[in-house]
Amino acid sequence: MTTPLVIGLNAAIVAVTQEVPRILTVKRPDHSLALPGEMVSEDGAFLDALPFGPLDARADPTLELGLRGWVREQTGIELGYVEQLYTFGDRNRDPEEHEGGARVISVAYLALVRERQLFGAAEASWRDWYGYFPWEDWRLTRPSIIDREIAPSLAQWVAAASQPATRRRCQERVDIVFGLNGAAWDEERVLERYELLYEAGFVAEKARDRMLRTKLQPGSQNRHSPSPSQTETPSLGRPMALDHRRILATALGRLRGKIKYRPVVFELLSSTFTLLQLQRVVEALAGVRLHKQNFRRLVEKGGLVERTGQFDPETGGRPAELFRFRREVLRERLAPGVGLPGAIRSLES
């Protein structure tokens, strides 16, 4: 009767150590290796994957509890801050497994953990997330990969479109999304950038998915507006298993948005910190450098932190005062709803 269904629970578990944002990955056998003419990850037989576990429909009372449960089992990490991200349900998300049978719907979560911790069972490791998205780190300089590879490749892709109107739309999209030709870089558009590269065929996942899909359904023709130049398609960024890089891009974009209006960064910091440490973590997430004095002004005036009176002598220069997060703001935050033009409080209009 009904096709069997599996609910997968994926976690993008984020930590920041030494100014490097990291994501917890596990090794997953590369099923595509069995096929001929297949792109293979550098490591050979394994691909990076986000920690994954199926929902136990009988035992897990809640999706989130299910997630916490097997993350604990699998990595020894007790998750703190957890937030549901998105539910991925496209068919052929997972063209490899379950070929005959079950369809996998994945509910993805974002989790923030405080510092890197040791973990137990599975073959897990922390990886710099900019390894997967080298074009996202603008802290030191505009990433060279953009001008060296992305822009030319995408230009080719745009040029390959037959209709002039299509070409214009594609060009516009490329410019907006990657901040080219005068458009500003918007650090939140992580997912849009990844999806554009995927569509254009410049990430390894695209080629892999196409190959697997045609193998599974030999009759199906997929028509993408402009098709990538088949000559030397670059493979940008480190690939992941299945659609996990898409999930990670979603997580990254969401997190970059969220730190701007909710005090979630503190989940990543130890209980006391200097303002520069705080700033560095925000910068690591946002992939952008910030103005120090203004940052400190904002944070202090926002009542987000309070002084401890203690100092960190390890700064190299004048010792920095240690601060702690003021949990009270969670309750105070009276008007996080900035944005409505002139919300009338007095109701006498």
**Interface residues toward a second copy, by CB under 8 A:** 2-7, 55, 57-58, 60-63, 84, 86-87, 89-92, 103, 105, 107, 138, 140-142, 172-173, 176, 183-184, 186-188, 256-257, 260-261, 282, 286, 288-292, 294-295, 297-299, 331, 334-345, 347, 349
CB of 139 to a second copy, least distance (A): 8
**216, 291, 303, 308: which one binds DNA (CB under 7 A):** 291
CA atoms within 13 A on the CB side of 275: 20
C-alpha distances out from residue 7 to 11, 27, 48, 54, 93, Å: 13, 20, 20, 6, 13
Q: Could you say which of DNA, a second copy, none residue 188 binds, taking C-beta under 5 to 8 angstroms by partner kind?
A: a second copy
Give 202-255 as a DSSP string. -SHHHHHHHHHHHHHSTTPPP--SSPPPSSS----S--BSTTHHHHHHHHHHHH
Q: Closer CB to a second copy, residue 148 or residue 297?
A: 297
Residue closest to 86 by CA, chosen among 108, 118, 116, 117: 108
CB of 197 to DNA, least distance (A): 29
CB of 57 to a second copy, least distance (A): 4
Adjacency order of strands within the sheet including 305-312: 272-274, 320-325, 305-312
Q: Could you say which of DNA, a second copy, none residue 77 binds, taking C-beta under 5 to 8 angstroms by partner kind?
A: none
Q: Closer CB to a second copy, residue 140 or residue 165?
A: 140
Phi, psi for 74 (deg, rounded to 5): -80, -30
CB of 147 to DNA, least distance (A): 22
Q: Closer CB to DNA, residue 223 or residue 301?
A: 301
d(C-alpha 264, C-alpha 269), whole Å? 10
Contact 265, 292 (CB under 8 A): no
Reading the block at residue 238, the tokens are 């480190």
d(C-alpha 107, C-alpha 9), whole Å? 5
Q: Closer CB to a second copy, residue 125 or residue 260?
A: 260
Contacting residues for 296 by C-beta, under 8 A, at least 6 apart: 275, 279
Reading the block at residue 196, the tokens are 């554009």
Contact track, DNA, 120-159, x by CB under 7 A:
----------------------------------------
Q: Closer CB to DNA, residue 18 or residue 346?
A: 346
Q: Could you say which of a second copy, DNA, none residue 176 binds, taking C-beta under 5 to 8 angstroms by partner kind?
A: a second copy
Number of residues that bind DNA (CB under 7 A): 26
Contact 194, 205 (CB under 8 A): no
CB of 325 to a second copy, least distance (A): 17
Contact 4, 229 (CB under 8 A): no
Phi, psi for 179 (deg, rounded to 5): 65, 45
Contact set for DNA, span 302-331 (CB under 7 A): 311, 313, 315-321
Q: Could you say which of DNA, a second copy, none residue 313 binds, taking C-beta under 5 to 8 angstroms by partner kind?
A: DNA
Choices 11-19, 208-216, 294-302, 325-333; region in contact with DNA by CB under 7 A: 294-302
Interface ranges with DNA (CB under 7 A): 274-276, 291-294, 296-298, 301, 311, 313, 315-321, 341-346
